[in-house]
Amino acid sequence: MQLLLLSSSNVYGYGYLDHAERELRARLDGRTRVAFVPFALQDHEAYTATARERFARIDCEVTQVRGAAEIEAAEAIFVGGGNTFRLLKTLYERELLDVIRARVRSGVPYIGTSAGTNIAAPTIRTTNDMPIVQPPSFDALGLVPYQINPHYLDADPSSTHQGETREQRLQQYLEENTAPVIGLREDTMLWVDDDVTTLHGRSSARVFRRGAEPIEIEPGSVVALV
């Protein structure tokens, strides 16, 4: 399996996907036909146009995914960000989870950002998104055996807001679940070759396990999460 799982497609100070252009090119490795899954946003056509323009600049042709045919024909799959619940619900409705999983397991590169990164995990239980629609299950693609929290955000010590911090939310996740979680700050991404995950990007990532203190891992590190 060849995955590239971005925390975010938009990083402060960069244009759309620009912070990850080197990794995008390396993951595609000359493949040019990219199937784009736009279901996390409401307007699929507009979202596809954005992706198409960006991928044209790295010499790739984007096809908008509507059903299994575009997945079957693709050399690479890109799943864009937005609302994770909407994305997963649509994938269930169009019966696309199995075909994506099968193609990726057969070697087709999978690139995800934000919601597209969340659904690469076993479940969407560590998404930050609002549950605006109800998918039939929180179970997702399970391409990796650990959970991911994109857009990971450190607590702001100057804030007077009393809502839970991200770390508190992830500790609540671990009260109810056993899979470890990697919190990906926005300028980071996971590079996955089969069972080996490496952290890329410009910041450390924060790893949460049940019953243990969180730890920071540095870019370039192999992420030994399970």
Known catalytic residues?
A: 114, 129, 151
Q: Between 105 and 169, whose beta carbon lies closer to a second copy?
A: 169
Q: Shortest gap between Cβ of 154 and a second copy (angstroms)?
A: 10
* Per-residue contact string for residues 8-47; x = within reach of a second copy by CB under 8 A: x-xxxx----------------------------x-----
Q: Report CA-CA distances (Å) from 71 to 58, 75, 97.
A: 20, 9, 10
- Considering only residues 139 to 178 of the shown chain, the ones binding a second copy according to CB under 8 A are 151, 153, 160-164, 169-170, 172-173, 175-177
Give residue for tokens 């470890």: 180
**Nearest partner of 111 among 62, 153, 69, 179, judged by Cα:** 62
Q: From the CB of 219, what's the least distance to a second copy, in Å?
A: 19
Q: Which is nearer to a second copy, 33 or 92 (CB)?
A: 92
HEC states along 25-80? HHHHCCCCEEEEECCCCCCHHHHHHHHHHHHHCCCCEEEECCCHHHHHHCCEEEEC
Interactions with a second copy, residue window 55-94 (CB under 8 A): 82-83, 86
Angle between the N-to-C axes of helices 97-105 and 84-93, in degrees from 0 to 180, rounded to the nearest 10? 90
Q: Look up tokens 């969407």; give the residue.
A: 124
Q: Which of residues 178-217 bind a second copy (CB under 8 A)?
A: 186
Rank residues 93 and 193 by Cβ distance to a second copy and give the closer one: 93
Report the C-alpha gap between 34 and 6 in whole angstroms.
17
Question: Are 122 and 142 contacting, i.e. CB atoms less than 8 angstroms apart?
Answer: yes
Listed ranges 56-64, 91-99, 100-108, 129-137: which one lies at the site for a second copy (CB under 8 A): 129-137
Binding footprint of a second copy on the chain (CB under 8 A):
8, 10-13, 42, 82-83, 86, 124-134, 137-138, 151, 153, 160-164, 169-170, 172-173, 175-177, 186
